[in-house]
Structures are given as structure tokens and as C-alpha cells.
Amino acid sequence: MANNPLIDIKTMLSHYNFKTEQITPERLEFRFKLLEEEFTELQTARENADAEETVDALIDIVVIALGTLELAGVDTAKAWNEVHWANMTKIKGAKPGRESDGWDLYKPLNWKAPSHADNHGKLSNLLKGKNL
């Protein structure tokens, strides 16, 4: 049976009591550094043609990214759906100016970007360095 990644993230955050602790600008910055660390691991895995570490780094990036949104009070499922539906209205093909051999998605004319205007959680204040 497959797990739901969003439920798993919430379970993990609760299990380790992250949800009971206040996120601060410093903790948000720490989360961003974790993402950078995982991306560096992904680059190393790619350079070494290491499939095991590639899978691990890609999943860790998703876990940290989704967990960061959750900790910042963003409705992650709502944000996911906004981006997913916007992506589903794109066109598959070669984006002008980007070599992709057609393995890309690009925005058609009149494409509507996802809106997260009512779903920033605590990010606006955290990014401005304000404690909550």
C-alpha cells in the first residue's frame, strides 16, 4: 500500500514534536541550508553515477521542502493543488531558448499562474526576519 507523502510529513513532524515548537527566521534559514546540502548531495551522486544516493537526495529534498511549508503554516495540499493544476495546463514540447529535446513543459499564451496569495502561512513575516 502506498503512503501519502503529505500525511507522512505531518506524521514525522508530529512524531519529533516540531509542530509544537515555534518556527523562527533562524529555523527557516536552517531549513533552506538543509535543502542546499541535499542539492549538493544530489550533484555529487549525479557526478558519481550513484543511483542509490540520487534517489535518497531527491526524496530528502521533497521531505525537507514539504516539511518547511508545513512548519511555516502553509496549507501544503492546497499549494500543491494550485501548482499541479497550473502545470496541467502547460504544453509538452520544446520551450524556445531551452534545449530539452521536447522533454519539457512550457506556458501557453494566456497561461494562468498558480496563486498562493491566501496561503503564505507565516512565511511573509519569517522571511522579513520577524519572530512570531
Distance, in Å, from the CA atom of 91 to the CA atom of 118, rounded to the nearest integer, reads 27
The pTM (predicted TM-score) of the whole model is: 0.91
Mean of pLDDT over the chain: 94
| pLDDT under 70: residue ranges of the chain | 1-2, 132
Residue given cell 516540531 in the structure block? 18
Hey, what's the cell of 98? 531551452
Distance, in Å, from the CA atom of 18 to the CA atom of 67, rounded to the nearest integer, reads 10
